Amino acid sequence: MSINLELPKKLDTTIDQAHQAAAEIFRPISRKYDLREHDYPVELDTLASLYDGLAEAGQAGAGADGGRSQEKKGKPKPEGTVVNGGNMQSVINTMETSWGDVGLMLTIPYQGLGNAAIAAVADDEQLKRFGKVWAAMAITEPSFGSDSAAVSTTATLDGDEYVLNGEKIFVTAGSRATHIVVWASVDKSLGRAAIKSFVVPREHPGVEVARLEHKLGIRVSDTAVIRFENCRIPKENLLGSPEVDTKKGFGGVMQTFDNTRPMVAGMAVGVARASLEELRRVLEEAGVEIDYDKPAADQHAAAAEFIRMESDFEAAYLHTMRAAWMADNKQPNSLEASMSKAKAGRTGTDITNKTVELTGTLGYSERLLVEKWARDSKILDIFEGTQQIQQLIIARRVLNKSSADLK
């Protein structure tokens, strides 16, 4: 059976719009905001309005409902019909805008990582309430990084409200988003099964943005430390079911990552593509020919290295598209989501760093954006689960082992 790797034509509009925004809005201001960390890029307000209008028309990716509203349009599709919907649209949009600037992409209002979390587990009533919010996601704490099961922030039910207490670090867009998706335990004695996610307004009693981090890359995207002290929110703000199922564990909350990891992979693919295109331009100007018909050993060393990186890029791209396609077609994609994140994250750092190396002093200077892309790409191999965590998850899925069996 042959596999058709050509994108459906209905996504052409998404690609064109996203690429235009990346080329005409993001690239021209990329260096400006890299040097002005924590300054809000006001140029994005117009873009946010555009995305909002496109979302209303069903042309801007999954949005806060994970593409569910798009699925309801038109006639019901026969069983077995292949769908290319909201998840793939969102990943493609992410790839194109990250080609322009991944930090700016993470700063677009109403396109936060928390929105993907809402799309993963919110019910229809919650989608109505939170469909228009800009949501950051707060998972990591001072006591842990990628081990999401170690959450110590608590959510105690008191009447019709949950009371949140704890501290979250490395919250992307934490000081700009209107809402924050917070991971907290409703009963620490029940372990990871009791970890739930809650939607909390940022400007709310008991929520304090303690500080903003100074970072290696994605400087335009603020990264916040947020404290929750006796923060009371309606119990309806708990995403998904409030029941604690010790047999299921915290799979419902972890489903969030099945949505967000292909998105982060898409970011890495976008940055890697930008770097490869710039490297090709510099090599061609230097008279280095890239010949796909010659063995690598018969070519300039830089050309051979370019071809190696390009093949890795293609593999990362296809992994990412597969994970998004599976999500659209209601196929369990936990394995593929981790594979896409692991491959794209590692490939992105490899390509961007090697580009700096191959372009020499020009690449190390600020005359080009390649040194910035190398700095930006590192976080894409870390957040939403490090390389090591992804490999552990992949091993568990392939070997059919539980987290207790394989640590």
Compute the average pLDDT of residues 233-258: 79
Report the alpha-carbon distance of residue 92 to residue 78 in Å, rounded.
26
Which residue in the list 141, 305, 310, 384 is annotated as catalytic? Answer: 384
Q: Is 366 a catalytic residue?
A: no
Classify burial at 231, counting beta carbons within 10 Å of its beta carbon; exposed 0-12, middle 13-18, buried 19 or more: buried
Residue 63 has pLDDT above 50, yes or no: no
Q: Residue 296 is encoded by which pair of tokens?
A: 């690598």
Going by pLDDT thresholds of 50, 70 and 90, the confidence category of residue 249 is low
As a whole number, mean pLDDT of residues 284-312 equals 96
Percent of the chain with pLDDT over 90: 68
Counting Cα atoms < 13 Å in the Cβ hemisphere of 256 gives 27
Q: Which residue carries 């990582």 as its tokens?
A: 113
**8: phi then psi, degrees, rounded to nearest 5:** -65, 145
pTM of the model: 0.91
- CB of 274 closer than 8 Å to CB of 373: yes
Question: Are the beta carbons of 211 and 168 closer than 8 angstroms?
Answer: no
Each residue's pLDDT tens digit, 333-366: 999 999 999 999 999 999 999 999 999 999 999 9
For the chain, percent of residues with pLDDT exceeding 70? 88
Q: Quick one: how many helices (H) and strands (E) in the chain?
A: 14, 7
> So what's the pLDDT on residue 62?
43
pLDDT confidence bin for 112, thresholds 50/70/90: confident
**Per-residue pLDDT tens digits for 122-156:** 888 999 999 889 999 999 999 876 666 689 999 99
347: tokens are 């490939």
Higher pLDDT, 282 or 47: 282
pLDDT in the model for residue 162 = 98
Residue 1, pLDDT score: 42
Sketch out the chain's domains with CATH numbers: 9-121 (1.10.540), 133-237 (2.40.110.10), 251-399 (1.20.140.10)
Residue 349: how many other CB atoms lie within 10 Å: 21
Distance CA 84, CA 14 (A): 13
